[in-house]
Amino acid sequence: MPLPLQGTFPPWLTGSLVRTGPAKFEVGSTTVNHWFDGLAMLHRFSFADGRVTYANRFLRSDSYCEAVVKGSLARGEFATDPCRTLFQRVAAVFSPHLTDNCNVNIDMFGGVPVALTETTLPVRFDAETLQTLGHYTASAEIGGMVSIAHPHHDAARGCRFSYVVEFGRKSHYRLFAIPDDGSPERIVAEMPVDRPAYMHSFAMTERYLVLTEFPLAVDPLRLMLAAAPFIRNYRWLPDRGLRFHVFDKDSGALVASRTADAAFGFHHVNAFEEGSDLLIDVITYDDAGIIDQLYLSHLRAGASVNATGRLTRYILSLDDSDPVEVVQLADEMIELPRIDYERCAGRAYRFVWGTGRTKGGDFIDSIVRIDLASRATRTWHTDGCYPGEPVFVSEPGAYEEGEGVLLSVVFDAMRGVSFLLVLDAHSLAEIARAECPHHIPFSFHGNYFPSH
Ligand SMILES: [Fe+2]
């Protein structure tokens, strides 16, 4: 569908922004419990010759197809589990029917576009038609049940890094690499763990991968036997603190483990090395209460949601076991952070963009740019508008970090419609927008794929 435009789209912006998010919260007479559990819809904005088109399509995952046939949810999701009865106490993560409702992020594995959720069942799709193409199957040795929707891309090594958790009598974290050329995945490192933590993302520097174990952890036996949806089996264990495990990317060796005071987070922003220190930037919360705020019952009651956290830097020394230094990098609270990833992933960097919440606001209602050098912030805000994740797109031939635009899908609550907003990434001045004739369900993450 071609969209009416305001302003002028940059002529160099030729490609597609593909996003995924929950879009169907009721199936038959059943309703999912949590925002993270809605059935996935893919969204694509394509840019060419100054024109913008929009398309969407439900991801035809097995979870989706089975739910349509059954007339109710069929597989256990993050916080909704239709399978639990007294006689079916086998957790969804241990059954052969893991959810493949990939509503969290979009990436490219071995040159193939994939939608991701937090299980080991990414779903491939056609970036042109948004047609579902089946699961992306990793090498059998990778194994695991739970994974991550935020892999890292290492351009120098020509691969992505991700991790899985294998639950069992002995559980393991397993870091692995996905080569860009489509060759088989390979295990990078493995670590036994008694009570695996819930981790939504991890950190990468030029030489290291860092697992940040938030103290929201699960007893695998409880996960197997307890009659509760996946995340309800996790317990907040602040005495564990926040543990960092640093692995060498090439040898897989565990280089260091360090502990800081307890905190929770979904998103790492970036991480880098400075001498023998590692600087790891994370959006943090005091505890895991943010998960409870995102239950649909809470959201539909119109309750205020403080879905923004602190931009926190953890400084770990690899030389000695000095206490981890903790620095709050900005007063502004943000979420859904993005950086100039191709230029700065794993390296020293300066700019963070994310969604913010203005004073007195009841939800994410602004886009924020934080300059880590000057600590200055800039904000885009329009009354009644709720922007999603601002995806940074670098201008071809850009000389410096942050030269480019931000793409964000914004819901205009006054008019009940959504639009794609293009901002100058430095000034946050509006460059253009493309208006949809309807609203677009709030999506979590996506990526921009340039045309070739
Ligand atoms: Fe995320």
Per-residue pLDDT of the chain (452 residues; tens, 9 = 90+): 889 999 999 999 999 999 999 998 888 888 888 888 899 999 999 999 889 999 999 999 988 888 888 887 777 777 777 765 444 545 566 666 788 899 999 999 999 999 999 989 999 999 999 999 999 999 999 999 999 999 999 999 999 999 999 998 899 999 999 999 999 999 999 999 999 999 999 999 999 999 999 999 999 888 877 667 888 889 999 999 999 999 999 999 999 999 999 999 999 999 999 999 999 999 999 999 888 888 777 777 777 777 889 999 999 999 988 889 999 999 999 999 999 999 999 999 999 999 999 887 778 899 999 999 999 999 999 999 999 999 999 999 999 999 999 999 999 999 999 999 999 999 999 999 999 999 999 889 999 999 86
- 267 CA to middle of ligand 1, Å? 6
> Which DSSP helix (H) or strand (E) runs through 341?
helix 341-344
Q: Which residues does residue 153 pair with via DSSP β-bridges, in sequence order?
A: 160
- d(CA 286, CA 294) in angstroms, rounded, equals 16
Q: How many CB atoms lie within 10 A of CB 96?
A: 4
Distances in Å between the Cα of 221 and the Cα atoms of 171, 200, 214, 285, 308 are 10, 21, 19, 28, 33
390 close to 406: Cβ distance less than 8 angstroms: yes
CA distance 363 to 366: 9
Q: How far does the centroid of ligand 1 lie from the alpha carbon of residue 258, in Å?
A: 24
**Burial per residue of 15-29, b for 16 or more beta-carbon CB atoms within 10 angstroms, e otherwise:** bbbbbbbbbbbebee
Find out whether 317 and 277 touch, Cβ atoms under 8 Å.
yes
Please name the residues in contact with 266: beta carbons below 8 A apart, sequence gap of 6 or more.
200, 201, 283, 290, 335
Give the global pTM.
Answer: 0.95
Cα–Cα distance measured from residue 240 to residue 189, given in angstroms and rounded to the nearest whole number:
23
Q: 300: phi > 0 → left, psi -120 to 50 → alpha, else beta; which?
A: alpha
Q: How far is the CA of 137 from the centre of ligand 1 (A)?
A: 22
Report how far ligand 1's centroid is from the alpha carbon of 331 (Å): 22
The alpha-helical segments, DSSP class H, found in 57-111 are: 62-70
CA nearest neighbour of 246 among 199, 316, 196, 197: 316
C-alpha 156/C-alpha 440 separation (Å) is: 36
Please tell me the predicted confidence (pLDDT) of residue 155.
96
Q: How far is the CA of 295 from the centre of ligand 1 (A)?
A: 16
CA of 377 to the centre of ligand 1 (A): 22
| Per-residue model confidence (pLDDT) at position 35 | 82
